[in-house]
Amino acid sequence: MYNCMAIETQLKKWGNSIGIVIPIEIIQDKDFKEGERVIVNIEKKISSRQLFGSLKEWKINTQKFKDEIRKEEHD
């Protein structure tokens, strides 16, 4: 049985490895314990700038799109 949840976190360098930090709120909410095995599904977050121009047939209000990019840069 799987109890799935999506979170956004950053990759961190740990020695010769790269790891992720799971926020304490998630640990407590899911009642995770040190040493438990978990399944992690990994997807790279794609920014609006990376998407720009990749969808040739897609129609969007360009001003709204630019506003979203600027908002994303400040987050």
Beta strands in 1-75 (DSSP E): 11-14, 17-20
pLDDT(9) > 90: no
Question: What token pair was written down for 54?
Answer: 């990749």
| Domain housing 49 | 11-74
Q: Is residue 9 a contact partner of residue 21, using CB atoms and an 8 Å limit?
A: yes
Q: Is residue 57 part of a domain?
A: yes
Give the total number of structural domains in the chain: 1
Q: Is residue 64 a contact partner of residue 39, using CB atoms and an 8 Å limit?
A: no
Q: Is residue 65 a contact partner of residue 55, using CB atoms and an 8 Å limit?
A: no
Mean pLDDT of the chain: 81
Q: Would you state the pLDDT for residue 18?
A: 93
Q: Is residue 2 part of a domain?
A: no
State how far the alpha carbon of 39 is from the alpha carbons of 1, 10, 14, 47, in Å.
Answer: 11, 17, 20, 25
Q: Record the pTM.
A: 0.49
Q: How confident is the model at residue 13 (pLDDT cuts 50, 70, 90)?
A: very high
| Measured distance CA(31)–CA(67) in Å, rounded | 39
Per-residue pLDDT tens digits for 50-74: 666 666 666 777 788 788 888 877 7
Q: Is residue 1 part of a domain?
A: no
